[in-house]
A and B are shown apart, each in its own frame.
Chain A
Amino acid sequence: MEVIKKVLVIGGGVAGIQAALDIADGGYQVILVEKTPSVGGHMAQYAEVFPTLDCPQCILTPKMVDVGQHSNITLLTYAELQKVSGEVGNFTVEILQKARKVNHKKCTGCGTCWQKCPEKVPSEYDAGIADRAAIYIPFAQAVPAKPVIDTEHCRYIKHLEFVEGETEGKRPPQCRICERLCPAEAIDWEQEAQTITEQVGAIVVATGFDLMPIKRLPEYAEDPDVIDGIQFERMLSPGGPNAGVVRRPSDGKIPGEVVFVSCAGSRDPEHGVPHCSRVCCMYLAKQAMLYKHAVHDSQAHIFYIDTRTTGKGYEEFLQRTMTEGTVYLRGKVSRIYRDGDKLKVMGVDTLSGKQVEVSADLVVLGMAMLPSVGAKDMAARLGIATDEQGFFTESHIKIDPLESTRPGIYLAGTAQGPKDIPDSVAQGSGAASKVLGLFARSEMTPEGLTVG
């Protein structure tokens, strides 16, 4: 059988982007599918990345733009894979292009609509600590830089549903401000979702990760000032809701004491997940350092079990964090609760053998890294195996970590397991090379062996 020289890359984070670029540069057609309105993934949310403290948007956006403009890449954002059939060399894939309600051919990305939209929705990109409009681009450097309408929150859509459903009560207003103000007449309420069917020879799965929700650890208090790492990144980020001024969610006060909790949910077979999430030691150290740069006379405490600093320059970075005044306490945190203006963090310092209670203004939890929401469904659709947490299982964990359990479907990035950005990028390229190797053959036997 012929090998179709086209590849589907699922996931537009840094691993998927790298894989797409490498395969495209290798001369083959790539379809890159991303379920959110823009590529970029979690890396685009961070403030500065370790160990270089580079701005992630600055180093990522060139690749994002490449992906958007590469002649060999068809970028489908706001789209999701629905169905896969066939086998290596010859997959049939069905992709749902969700209805944006905005005609991207007409839209110029001027920004008038999202500036004027009256609706406020918690922003996914800002991890819920700031709002966006119902018509929006997720962030300023989005690719494509053209908006989508969130139909669940759009006032006009709700108005239409109300009218059609003949519901009782007060009728929501018609709104349609975006439509009225759009200079390009790009709003298209009639736009429907579309199913796109394609034939591809290989698939790369790079669906990324999500952090474990804080509410899975009820002992850490449901409190607006107990946040996770990504939320803190948005606070630290100069492009964030407060332009890099760290203000705590409850009252906007600048915190003078921040406690970071490592292994929140990780390494915890009883209440969380048994695995180590690999990046938290580093990013919590980085966040403590950035926090102290932002708030000069502040104090940071990090509760840790170990300090896993395995990459190049990582250990040195950690030492710097400690030297710059962050206090490391070796022990776990048993409970966090609010007492008036402060959050009380009850933990232990095993090196001195004493119980410790820290009074914090803000607590950042190093929540466990889990496969992105919906990974297990994706695995079912693709017909590949996952482990108990939902990370996709590789063909052999040591010697073949990028091939899934189904020939022709490859893995890259945190979808395969927790890892940092350099490893995700490396795996993106690695998966690409597997695909390029596959495509170097022209024919395959029914068993999936390549010939010629």
Chain B
Amino acid sequence: MSIPEEKRNNDSDKAPGIEGANVPGSIGKLIPVYVMGKRYEVPETLTIMKAMEYAGFKFIRGCGCRGGICGACATVYRKAGDYRLRVGLACQTVVEPNMYLTQIPFYPANRATCDFSELTSNPEEIFKLYPELFRCIACNLCTKACPMDVEVMDYISALKQGNITKAAELSFNCIQCGLCASRCMGELPQYHIAQLARRIYGSKIVPRAEHLSEATAASTGGRYEAYLEALMKMGEEELRKVYQEREMEPEIAAEDWVPNDNRYL
């Protein structure tokens, strides 16, 4: 896409960023990036995702929430002159000059199938489903690859030690982007194993909230039936009145605040 001369901001002594972008009609300073090996000039204020769209790419895959939480836009890139591989989410990472980048929309990591209802909290079952768990050599490349700063190697280690709870807690922020598996020397599908661990944790280990079950039972048992019946029978005027006169917990209420009408507590 070519940019008309008058719209280019060629003042290189101006700081990059918002200033240039706020100039009406200007799109800010352009920097080169390489997408799958081909060079493009894109505004320096854009994220990778926006910069690729600026360059003319249309996302039909590898684009999700655009908010940094779905894991669809996992990107691997290098900076010129540096051997280090870097990772990030395209929707969150701002472009830099001479970025070499490519997206990893999907990584073919092994995903074991099982009948979840038959699983227990015995870690041996995870070991059977994912025996490659023990191929981990603690190289830590997975942790380095994670865009969400999850301690991947540590949760794998915890699982090897049979500690499903710890693995579930450590892997909480995982967005299933697959970058960890893409770098793993032992070919583990870390994020799939962690997901299984979290599911087992939530389903078989975490204690049930008793009061929730009680309240649900009370509710389905018909505790509020009479009140709901009464409301259904009211006319519009009466309903409006009841609604406007309803009791609401004040914004700043004492801890032990209770409503006056305590019939349905």
A and B touch in the complex (CB under 8 A): no
B residues lining the A interface (CB < 8 Å): none
A residues contacting B by CB (< 8 A) are none
